[in-house]
Amino acid sequence: MNSSQQKKIVLGISGGVAAYKSAELTRLLVKAGYDVHVVMTEAATHFVGPVTFQALSGNLVYSDQWDARRPNNMPHIDLTRGAAAVLIAPASADVLAKVANGLCDDLLTTLVAARDCPLFVAPAMNRQMWENAPNQRNIAQLQADGIQIFGPGNGEQACGEVGDGRMLEAQEIFEHLEAALQPKLLKGQRVLITAGPTFERIDAVRGITNTSSGKMGYAIARAAYEAGAEVVLISGETALPTPIGSRRIDIKSAQQMHAAVESEVAASDIFIAVAAVADYHVLNASEQKIKKSAQQLTITLAPNPDILASVSTRANRPFCVGFAAESENLLEFAEAKRRRKQLPLLVANLAQSAMGADDNEVILLDDHGQTRLESAPKIDIARRLITHIARLCPSVK
Ligand code: C5P
């Protein structure tokens, strides 16, 4: 079961072109198991019709305070009761100004004032409006009132100008919302993660790599940030967007990954080695493309450093977590690896089931024994792993 199942979210939509992104946001929320109730300002209905949100959310859409569809005629109270949060996306300069000053002149602003749950806002406006002094004062007031601001993003705007004020993409807002709702089990912890494959160059156009999508490592980076950690993600080449909250360092080879880990590890409390590091690199890789010939070609391989072992044997080591993808004798090989690399925690998975998939099924091995995490989306496995780490790691209070 997805951890977000049955959580009610009130999604407020105010007037802005970015309202079209909220259709995608609604879809993402529903897909993740949230019960989404959309409330639109009158202006918002000029950008996207309520029918779109009703169809996507499966719930009635409200915009009028006097809507007679509510038997007690109090949608401003009912809608937020039992909700995990109210999220306003897009939040226009006007709606932010009203909320910052406690005005309640329509359904959305009235239910915000009457809510008994957290409020998050994703601003969307032209760059001049964003920088406008009253808007900046309102943002500061909202922050002082404990309201979390998601974004805004920077870039090209619908009006053609470039700058701050764009609404974040739906996926980013979704990730921020999920992060805001997770318990802060790793607050104050600095987490270093390796993810993805390494690439060992043979010549200018060829190389040796491992099969690794990076999905598990990226999900762990996201889950660590959700838990309140400061996250550094050292990544081989993947097709994935950087998870929110991570400082990402891109590398190609195992030696580059090792160097990046060396320069970051002293400032880390927890090290999670998820990367599929190539065991060998090519000796005397050619700068130029090797030309085809009828002769046999021999490539000499030399062992790469074991990054995880080099960290776990440091004098002042962080809490080290390893991964073991095995294609047979999973538990036996994994436990031997845990002892050899001196790890307090190792995550074992069958290589066949994990590679590239969106779901995973793992066994956690530590000094107390085994914990099986049944098949689930990688982000759910990642959150449960973070909970387990928080329980075992001595630096976590
Ligand atoms: O020995 P093996 O490669 O199976 O160990 C897997 C674990 O060790 C993973 O956590 C992986 O990220 C890490 N590792 C590493 N450096 C290597 C090889 C593996 O950090 N050169």
Q: How does pLDDT run across 61-73, given as a tens digit for each residue?
A: 999 988 888 888 8
Q: Give residue 276 CA to ligand 1 midpoint distance, Å.
A: 7
- Of 55-64, 254-263, 323-332, where does mean pLDDT reach its minimum? 323-332
Q: Are 198 and 176 found together in one domain? A: no
Show which of 181, 207, 234 is a domain's final residue: 181
Q: Give residue 308 CA to ligand 1 midpoint distance, Å.
A: 6
Closest atom, ligand 1, to C-alpha of 274: 12
237 lines ligand 1 (CB under 6 A): no
Q: Are 194 and 177 found together in one domain? A: no
Query: Which residue's CA lies nearest to atom 5 of ligand 1?
Result: 324
Q: Which of helix, strand or coil describes residue 165?
A: strand
Instruction: Note down the domain range covering 161.
Output: 8-181
More confident residue, 184 or 76: 184
Q: Tell me what the mean pLDDT of segment 360-364 comes to.
A: 93
More confident residue, 215 or 1: 215
- Tell me phi and psi for residue 38, to 5 degrees: -95, 135
Q: Give residue 49 CA to ligand 1 midpoint distance, Å.
A: 52
Residues with catalytic roles: 159
Q: Are 354 and 208 found together in one domain? A: yes
Q: Give residue 237 CA to ligand 1 midpoint distance, Å.
A: 17
Q: Give residue 306 CA to ligand 1 midpoint distance, Å.
A: 6
Task: Round to whole Å and give the CA distance between 164 and 154.
Answer: 4
Global pTM reads 0.90
254 lines ligand 1 (CB under 6 A): yes
Q: Tell me what the mean pLDDT of segment 87-94 comes to.
A: 98
Q: Are 155 and 198 found together in one domain? A: no
322 lines ligand 1 (CB under 6 A): yes
Q: Tell me what the mean pLDDT of segment 113-127 comes to.
A: 96
195 lines ligand 1 (CB under 6 A): no
Residue from 199, 200, 277 to probe ligand 1 pocket by mutation (most atoms less than 8 Å from CB)? 277
Cis previous bond, 90, omega within 30: yes
Q: Using CA of residue 18, residue 24, residue 26, residue 29, what is the dihedral sign?
A: negative
Q: Give residue 307 CA to ligand 1 midpoint distance, Å.
A: 7
Q: Does 3 map to a domain?
A: no
Cis previous bond, 152, omega within 30: yes
Task: Please provide the average confidence, as pLDDT, over all residues in the chain.
Answer: 94
275 lines ligand 1 (CB under 6 A): yes
Q: What is the CATH number of the domain that holds 291?
A: 3.40.50.10300
324 lines ligand 1 (CB under 6 A): yes
Closest atom, ligand 1, to C-alpha of 322: 10
Q: Are 253 and 292 found together in one domain? A: yes
- pLDDT above 70 coverage of the chain, percent: 97
Task: Kindly provide the b/e burial profile for residues 346-384, where b requires at least 16 CB atoms within 10 angstroms of the residue's own CB.
Answer: bbbbbeeebbeeeebebbbbbeeeeeebeebbbbbbbbb
Q: What is the CATH number of the domain that holds 59?
A: 3.40.50.1950
Please determine, for residue 102, whether its predicted confidence score (pLDDT) is greater than 50.
Answer: yes
Query: Which residue's CA lies nearest to atom 4 of ligand 1?
Result: 324
Q: Which of helix, strand or coil describes residue 67?
A: coil
Q: Are 222 and 307 found together in one domain? A: yes
